[in-house]
Amino acid sequence: MDFTLPATKLDAMNSLTFRLLEVFRHVVDCGSVTAASSSLSLSQPTVSLQLKKLSAIIGIPLLEHVHGQVIMTDAGKALYEYAQTVLSAQQKLDSRIHAIRGMQTGSLNLAVVSTAQYVVPPFLSQFCHEHPNIEVNFTVGNRAQVIERLRQNLDDLYVFSHPPEDSSLMSAPFMQNRLVVIAPSSYSGPDHCSLESLCGQKFLLREPGSGTRRSLQTYCEPRNITFANVVVMESNEAIQAAVAAGLGLAIISEHTLTPASSEQIRILTVQDFPLNAQWHVVTTQHRPMNLAAQAFRSTLLASTSGFHTLPVNHRPQ
């Protein structure tokens, strides 16, 4: 039978408290005042007094004792259903507030490969603006250095273009990493061509093992493309400076290029380029993520594929 509280008693509902509802639910769930008092760490008279107060607020008997058992009246059933809803909502609110409080302070340890230092800061800026009291430790290294940090479990999150192959890692892509062929602004050699037709040029490349070099090898090996004259450099800045000075061509992540580079560097139109790789955020299953790490990982994964560093303008001959 449906039960609706009398209109004359609706105002009394304002006197209901979480504690009264909790006591009532425990009495029903435990089956007796004695058991409920033990569960709540309260005395039996205190529990009985709370029930009496609750009945007075409602104005109708809530419980009946039949053969030593506590039985709910129709009013009791309605109140029990209400208590379940309210106390469940309170628990969800408590959990949410706890999570928010946990995000007010804490730390985020983040390690990224060197090229990702051009990709991650905009996301980090957004995150720090939203969580100003989080202490952020941001480490940049080459791929070997970041893998060593990963092996030692030093950080909460890692960013790679080519994550290590390890079943204990959790890796998720969050945006494209486009590789382009660049030349000095004064370049007058082949353009609108294949990469193979450029192999006689001097190329400035990242060190073996770097994400950029691995992407290039993945492209070149099945096509039997080799470079006749290679200069190895371990930083994107050094490569760009060398290209701008006319030392040679290079293959580099588009994210490392800035509008200021457009006066000294141009992007060539090469068949199959840009090569599209992915940036990945990596975590290890052996290190549970704290709230700050979870939030920043979510920030990365919520990013759109339309996020791009402004590319250097194409200036074909």
d(CA 101, CA 106): 10
Q: Are 128 and 292 in contact (CB under 8 A)?
A: no
Q: How far is CA 105 from CA 89, 101, 128, 134, 290, in A?
A: 25, 7, 12, 5, 11
Q: Which of 20, 132, 173, 126 is nearest to 82 (CA)?
A: 20
The token pair at 158 is 């890692």
Nearest to 21 by CA among 74, 65, 104, 78: 78
Question: What average pLDDT does range 143-160 have in this prediction?
Answer: 93
Is the pLDDT reported for residue 279 higher than 90? yes
pTM for the model stands at 0.62
HSE-up of residue 60 (Cα within 13 Å, Cβ side) = 17
Let me know: does 250 contact 267? Beta carbons within 8 Å: no
Higher pLDDT, 314 or 126: 126
Q: Is 89 buried (19+), middle (13-18) or exposed (0-12) by CB count in 10 A?
A: exposed
What band does 100 get if pLDDT is binned at 50, 70 and 90? low
CATH fold for domain 106-301: D-Maltodextrin-Binding Protein; domain 2 (3.40.190)
Q: Work out the average pLDDT over 111-127.
A: 92
Is residue 104 scored above 90 in pLDDT?
no
* Mean pLDDT within 136-151: 93
pLDDT tens-digit profile of 86-96?
Answer: 888 887 777 66
pLDDT of residue 231: 95
84 pLDDT more than 80: yes
Band (148; pLDDT cuts 50, 70, 90):
very high
- Angle formed at CA 123 by CA 119 and CA 128, multiple of 5 degrees: 135
Find the largest Cα–Cα distance for the chain. 101
* pLDDT for the residue numbered 67: 76
**Number of H-type helices and E-type strands within the chain:** 9, 11
| Nearest 10 degrees: Cα torsion 186, 192, 198, 201 | 0
Question: Which tens digits make up the pLDDT trace of 203-249?
Answer: 999 988 888 899 999 999 999 999 989 999 988 889 999 999 999 99
pLDDT value, residue 39: 80
* Rounded CA separation 27/21 (Å): 10
**Please, are residues 189 and 182 in contact by the beta-carbon 8 Å criterion?**
no
pLDDT digits (tens, 9 = 90+) for 64-77: 888 777 889 998 89
Residue 86: per-residue pLDDT:
87
pLDDT at residue 290 greater than cutoff 80: yes
Q: Which residue has the higher pLDDT, 16 or 165?
A: 165
The H-or-E segment that residue 172 falls in is strand 169-184
What percent of the chain is predicted at pLDDT more than 70? 87
At the top level of CATH, which class does the domain 7-102 belong to? mainly alpha
Domain limits, the chain: 7-102, 106-301
